[in-house]
Amino acid sequence: MGFEHKIAPSILSADFARLGEEIRRVEEAGADLIHFDVMDGHFVPNLSIGVPVLKSLRKITRLPLDAHLMISEPARYLRAFAEAGANLISVHAEACDDLPGIAGQIRALGARASVAINPETRVERVLAAAEHLDMILVMSVHPGFGGQGFIGESLEKLRAVRSEIERRGLKLDIEIDGGVKIDNIAAVAAAGANVFVSGSGIFGHGDYRKIIAEMRERVARA
């Protein structure tokens, strides 16, 4: 895996009344992953979608499903998401005590394991568990809502994560999530991310194929 660039549309900004069609459209437009935001109204001040929706989507797309669990006590729901068809599961460092332990549980369920950190959480917290992870997710907004502005300090965090995992010779993916758009994706790539979540930056655009192709071109040149 390593540094392959992957574009991950966040369906939080899709039209939920036509979700299957929206996913087919981004799949045809060249998306690499489907980013699936789960919110519990407790870990974040919003509610979104959960296991039954993921299970239905599993039947209509071949793309890997990237489940981002913005929930308290994520360990209670890992099995349900894995069995519903999540390929990659991100839990939040702020919601877990034992990161290697929860990563091991995710892998034992057959999914790839990832830990997300909020803007106020230090990179050291997740780097301490990096050997147990397939991906690190750096949040560049406060989780809970699509369409927020990118927090500039996140670039420094990406650089710190990238240089440390390279220093240790690890091959994990680095995902960035929040406020990623065509005008900042090159900077985000240059700072070290290789998996780019974009919700409003893709679904807010009329032509998914064009915007995904342009994003890919900019990260390739970064």
Interface contacts to ligand DX5, rule CB under 6 A: 10, 12-13, 35, 37, 68, 141, 143-148, 177-180, 197-201
Q: Which does 194 bind (CB under 5 to 8 A by kind): Zn ion, ligand DX5, none?
A: none
How many angstroms separate the CA atoms of 220 and 113, rounded?
26
Interface residue with Zn ion, options 37, 40, 173, 175 (CB under 5 A): 37
Q: Which does 146 bind (CB under 5 to 8 A by kind): Zn ion, ligand DX5, none?
A: ligand DX5
**Contact positions with Zn ion (CB under 5 A) in 166-195:** 177
Cβ 68 to Zn ion shortest distance, Å = 4
> Pick the catalytic residue: 40, 66, 177, 207?
177
DSSP summary character for residue 147: S
Task: Give me the residue whose beta carbon is nearest to ligand DX5.
Answer: 199
Q: How many residues does the chain have?
A: 222
Cβ distance to ligand DX5 smaller for residue 129 or 215: 215
Structural contact between residues 222 and 35, judged by C-beta atoms closer than 8 angstroms:
no
Phi, psi of 32 (to 5 degrees): -100, -30
3-class DSSP assignment, residue 218: helix
Cβ 60 to Zn ion shortest distance, Å = 20
Task: Give me the residue whose beta carbon is nearest to Zn ion.
Answer: 68
The pair of three-digit structure tokens given for residue 49, joined into one six-digit string? 């979608």
Residue 99: C-alpha distances to residues 80, 192, 206 (Å): 19, 22, 40
How many angstroms separate the CA atoms of 85 and 156, rounded?
34
**Alpha helical stretches, state H, 50-89:** 51-58, 78-84
Q: Which does 40 bind (CB under 5 to 8 A by kind): Zn ion, ligand DX5, none?
A: none
Binding piece for Zn ion, criterion CB under 5 A, among 46-54, 64-72, 96-104, 181-189: 64-72
Q: Identify whether 177 is a catalytic site residue.
A: yes
Cβ distance to ligand DX5 smaller for residue 39 or 172: 39
Structural contact between residues 66 and 88, judged by C-beta atoms closer than 8 angstroms:
yes
> Pick the catalytic residue: 37, 66, 134, 173?
37
Residue 66 binding Zn ion, by CB under 5 A = no
Q: Which does 199 bind (CB under 5 to 8 A by kind): Zn ion, ligand DX5, none?
A: ligand DX5
3-class DSSP assignment, residue 138: strand
How many angstroms separate the CA atoms of 128 and 170, rounded?
13
- Residues with catalytic roles: 37, 177
